[in-house]
Amino acid sequence: MKPFKPSQAAVAVALALVAGAAGAVPGYVTSGTNSAITDSSGHCWKTGDWTPDKAAAPCDAVPVAAAPAAPLAEKEAPPPVAAAPQVIEKVSLSSDVLFAFDKAELTPAGQSKLDELAGNLRDAQIDRVQIDGYADRIGTEQYNERLSERRAQAVRDYLAQRLSGQTDRLQAEGRGEADPVTGHQCDNMGPARKSNQKLVACLQPDRRVEVEVLGQRQASAGSAPSTGASGAGSSAPAASTSGSSQSSR
C-alpha cells in the first residue's frame, strides 16, 4: 500500500480549521464548540503565540486583580484638653491687719487689703478660691479653731461680694493652730497667755488668713496667658501692724 499523502488543498483546509479554532480562545487550540483541546494529561494545547497575559481558565490560573483597599476613615481630632488650673494668686494676710483683737469682723484696713486682692483678680478666670484661717497657740485648741473658722468665713463673704458670680467657687476653712509659721522660735518665752506680750508678738506670723486662687489669667493682646502667682506681694505676708500694744488672736 502506498503511504497516504494529503493533498496540498487538504493541508490548507486543516490549517485553516486549526487557525480558526485557535482564534476562538486566543492562545489556545479549541474545538468547534470553542472549548480548549486537551491532551491525555488534561493539559490544554497552546498556540505558538501564547503568552502569560492570554492565560484563561480552566487551562491556566488567571490572576485576580486585588480589590482596591477601602479608604481609611479619617480620624476625628481629639477634643481639646482644657488647661489645668494653676495658682494665679497666693497671699498670706496678717490677722492683725484684718481683724481687731479676738474678733472676726473685718477692719477697714482689712477690707482695703481684700479690695486690692479682688482687683488683681478682675480679669482672671477663676476655678477655685481656697481661704484658710489660722490662729496662734495661745488659748484652747477648740477656741482657736472656731476663731480661725469665723475669720476665714468673714474673708470669704467679703470676697464673694467683690468677685461677682464667683460665690460657689470660694471655700473657707478654719485650721486653728495647725501649720505654725514660727516653728519653735517662740519656745521658752513664758506662759502661753494673752498677757504675755513678748510671746504674743513672737507668734504674730501664725495669726493669718491664707488665700489661694486657682484658674487662668486672660491674655492681653499680643501676650501669652499668665498662670503663675502674680501681683506685688502675692507670696509674701501682708504687712502687720507693728508696735501695737494690742494683739489679735
Q: Which of 249, 232, 198, 226 is nearest to 94 (CA)?
A: 249
Extended strands (E) in 44-191 = 86-94, 124-134, 170-174
Q: What is the CATH number of the domain that holds 95?
A: 3.30.1330.60
200-216, pLDDT tens digit by residue? 999 999 999 999 999 99
Do 90 and 188 lie in a common domain?
yes
Do 213 and 91 lie in a common domain?
yes
How much is the mean pLDDT over the chain? 78
What is the per-residue pLDDT for 165? 80
Span 225-249, mean pLDDT?
Answer: 40
What is the per-residue pLDDT for 56? 76
Extended strands (E) in the chain = 86-94, 124-134, 170-174, 208-217
Do 47 and 110 lie in a common domain?
no
Determine what percent of the chain is predicted with pLDDT higher than 90: 43
Do 174 and 110 lie in a common domain?
yes
Report d(CA 58, CA 63) in Å as an integer: 12
Do 209 and 118 lie in a common domain?
yes
Domain-located, residue 186: yes
**Total domains present in the chain:** 2
What is the per-residue pLDDT for 6? 54
133-184, pLDDT tens digit by residue? 999 999 999 999 999 999 999 999 999 999 988 889 999 999 999 999 999 9
What is the per-residue pLDDT for 93? 95
What is the per-residue pLDDT for 235? 36
182-192, pLDDT tens digit by residue? 999 999 998 99
Do 25 and 124 lie in a common domain?
no
- Burial of 16-44, coded b for 16+ CB within 10 Å and e otherwise, reads eeeeebbeebebbbbeeeeebeeeeeeeb
Do 136 and 35 lie in a common domain?
no
37-89, pLDDT tens digit by residue? 677 777 787 777 878 777 777 777 777 767 777 777 778 888 877 777 799 89
What is the per-residue pLDDT for 159? 96
pLDDT at 240 over 70: no
Confidence of residue 92 (pLDDT cuts 50, 70, 90): very high
Extended strands (E) in 114-227 = 124-134, 170-174, 208-217
Query: 152 lies in which domain range?
Result: 86-217
Residue 188 region by backbone torsions, left for phi larger than 0, else alpha for psi between -120 and 50, else beta: left
What is the per-residue pLDDT for 245? 37
Domain-located, residue 31: yes
pLDDT at 16 over 90: no
**106-109, long-range: CB < 8 A, 24+ apart:** 106/154, 106/155, 106/158, 109/241
Do 100 and 43 lie in a common domain?
no
Tracing cell 476663731 back to the chain, one arrives at 147
Domain-located, residue 243: no
φ/ψ (deg, to 5) at 6? -65, 145
Do 98 and 206 lie in a common domain?
yes
pLDDT at 228 over 50: no
